[in-house]
Each structure stands twice: as C-alpha cells, then as structure tokens.
Amino acid sequence: MLEQFLSTLDEPYVLAIDSPWGSGKSTFIRMLRQQLKNNGFNTIHFNAWESDFCEEPFVGMVSEVTSALSKLPGNQLSPKTEKIKAAGKQVLKRLIPVGAKIATMGALDLDKELESVERAMAGASEKIAEDMMDSYGESKSDIKCFRETLEQFVEGLGKPLIFFVDELDRCRPSFAVELLERAKHLFSVNGVVFLLAVDKTQLGHSIQGLYGPSFDAAGYLRRFIDMDYHLHPKAHNRFYDSAIESSGVKGELSRLGDYSTAKRTGMHSLLESVFSGLNLSLREQIQLLSRAAVVLKTIPSGDAVFDYELSLMLVLRDRRPELFRRYSSGGESVEDVIDFFCSIPGDVSDDLGEITKAVLIVGYKSLSESQGELDLESRSDELKGHVRKMLSHGRWNMKTTIDRLKMAESFYS
C-alpha cells in the first residue's frame, strides 16, 4: 500500500515514518527501500546521525545524491550527475560560514571554492552590506539553478526519487532543524520524496530544547512534514524473519542442521507469540535473539539443540530473572513459571499453552533430579499426552539447556 502511494507522487513530498525508539523504523525503511529498488525505484539512504559531525547538512545530502546516482546502471546520466554536484557546490558556498570550512574539509572537493570565499570575506568592513545584498540575489539564483538541474534529472528517471533519512531524532537539535529546512526548501522538486524515519515526540523535545519549552514544536514540524505514517504497534511481528537472520540465530540453526526442525517443532511459533504478547520492540527482539545465537554457538555440530527449551528459558531469564533462578535450581516454582507464560496474551496461553506447560513440567523433573512419578492427576488429558510423549522420546533436557545458557552468559551479561 505504501509503495502504491509513493508511486503516485509527482510533487515534492515529505513523509514521516513516525514510531518510538527501538520499534523497528530502521528495519522497516531498509526493507521498504529494498522492495522499492526491486520494483524499479531509485532510492537514496542518508543516515543523519552519522553526518551529525558536519556543520551543514546539505554537504552530506548532496554527497549522497551524487554518490547514489553515479552508481545507476550504465551510469548513463553521469553528465547530469556532475551538473547536480556543480550546482550544489554553488548553493553550498552561500550556506557555509567561512569559519566552518574545517568541518567540511574534503567534502565535495570544496577546498578551492571555500578558499576563494575566505579571500572575498577578508575585504574591508564597509563592503559587507553591499556584499550581503549581492549575495542574496546570487543565492536565489544558485538555489533555482540547483532545483532546476535536479528536477531535469528526476524527470528522466520515470519514477519518484525516494530519499530515505534515518536516525534524525538522534541528531543535534540544530542539525535536525537545518536538515528539515534543506529538505523542504532546497530539494523541493517535483518527483523528489523524502521519507524520514523519526520519533516525532523525541524530535519535538529536541526542538523545544533549542527554542524553549513553550515553543510549538508540533506546529513547527507541520511546516516541513506533509504526512505522518505510523508504524502499527504490532508491526514488528512482520520483522521476525529479519530479526532471526540479523541476530545470527538462523545461521547457527542452519549450521546445526536444526533450522527447518525449529520451524516445525514450534520454536519460531513460540517466539513470535511471546514477542507479540509481551509487545517487545524490534530492538528487544534482536537483543534476546542475539543471546540465543551466542548459546547456539557453544553447541558442537551433531549435538541436540533443544531449541524450544532454550527459547522458554531465554525469555524467562530476560523477563523474570528471579523466577528463572528458582526454576533453574530445581526449586518449588514450576507452577509460578507456568503461570508466567500462560499470562502472556495470545497463542502462548492458547494454542501453544499445553505444549509449553509440558516442556516446563518435564524440564522441572530433570532439574529437580526427582526419581518419582510426575503428579499429573489434575492435568488435562492433552497435557498428560504431551508429557508422556516427551518422556518416552527422551529428547527433552532442560538441565543441559540451562547449563549451556549459563555458560554463555559471560559473553553478554
């Protein structure tokens, strides 16, 4: 749906992907950008925070534009790319104070141009007013030239040029504000669409830090942003496959020959349900999965993985560490652990509930080293069946799983 919306835009447009910190904005725009590229869009990615050291945002923005466009297939538009770069230099000379030269050293090959500006500014003070008036007219002309050159370039692309800006809310307030101004005024060209990944609430606080607590930050941002796109609170569920891969879990399970088994035996269903029920952000998901990857790295190829038990214990240790300690020591806490998992909304307490209970009960037997029969009298027939099946197969070993987890803790605690 978002791709369809973007494809219809032929005017200058700024869209904010608004979502709290850690909710998956960067992953979302990375996936969206790849999808757009696969479907013939030309895209540019600009990490604003990584360019925060620079006094003038326009330096990084033009550099990213010319770098990305010069890599187009066949580089057939190279002459036009050079025209954009040249026009950008002229605009930049009007924007950057001479004192900021050191901050942009080497960017866009501006040394010679800036030196000439320094010499010009070294003139007599009585000429300053006249120079400023002349400079104003020249600035308007240079900005118009830059826009026209960029617009001619974009017209030849056939689809909107999508400019992704990430990590804007992490920048210095002054840098963030100036970047928004540059995007809105200097890149206000038909067919150029900005997608800003931002926590608008946090950005608003930064702006108020710059202009004062009574400043209308929301109203100010509306001057620059045409529309907000809010990531749904559950949108991170769609990113589970990406989290599994980026955390290293998929690679380790594949090494152990257990990835397809993990999908069949319910590890993925369990984790997706837990992540959704606990409303974990994408960042929290990846942190937890990265710990799982560390544990998996300690398992030699050919050994049993016990992925379901590992998933349960990682979640328990992360969310209820004291309960994890008591359970892992074989204390009288199996019912408390069952209650915790069954309190998680969604499939953990529904479709996966009886399986989870069975794993925890059988696991408790191995941890408490009890030789007697499990008391299943009050349990459901379904649960009794799961427990007997697990005991007969003998592959469920919670003690081994917890030992592995504790051994790996020194790597990430």
Q: Which tens digits make up the pLDDT trace of 13-23?
A: 999 999 887 77
Domain shared by 270 and 206, yes or no:
no
How many CB atoms neighbour CB 14 within 10 A? 21
Domain shared by 140 and 249, yes or no:
no
Q: How many domains does the chain fold into?
A: 2
Domain shared by 211 and 92, yes or no:
yes
Across 100-104, 203-207, 349-353, least confident range = 100-104
Per-residue pLDDT at 91 exceeds 80: no
Domain shared by 307 and 216, yes or no:
no
Across 380-394, average pLDDT: 76
pLDDT at residue number 78? 61
Across 280-286, average pLDDT: 80
Domain shared by 216 and 266, yes or no:
no
pLDDT at residue number 173? 87
Query: 100 falls in which pLDDT band (50, 70, 90)?
Result: very low
pLDDT at residue number 103? 41
Domain shared by 78 and 104, yes or no:
yes
Domain shared by 165 and 52, yes or no:
yes
* Average pLDDT across the chain, whole number: 77
Last residue of a domain, one of 213, 231, 249: 231
Domain shared by 245 and 367, yes or no:
yes
Domain shared by 215 and 250, yes or no:
no
pLDDT at residue number 55? 78
Q: Name, of 230-239, 284-293, 310-319, 382-391, the range with top average pLDDT.
A: 310-319
pLDDT at residue number 262? 52
Domain shared by 206 and 314, yes or no:
no
pLDDT at residue number 139? 60
pLDDT at residue number 396? 63
Across 249-264, average pLDDT: 71
Q: What percent of the chain has pLDDT over 90?
A: 16
Query: 387 falls in which pLDDT band (50, 70, 90)?
Result: confident
Per-residue pLDDT at 215 exceeds 90: yes
Across 119-142, average pLDDT: 55
Per-residue pLDDT at 280 exceeds 50: yes
Per-residue pLDDT at 68 exceeds 70: yes
pLDDT at residue number 373? 54
Domain shared by 33 and 148, yes or no:
yes
Better-predicted residue by pLDDT, 236 or 102: 236
pLDDT at residue number 16? 94
Across 264-275, average pLDDT: 75
Domain assignment of residue 120, given as a range: 2-231
Domain shared by 150 and 246, yes or no:
no
Last residue of a domain, one of 203, 231, 259: 231
Last residue of a domain, one of 231, 266, 294: 231
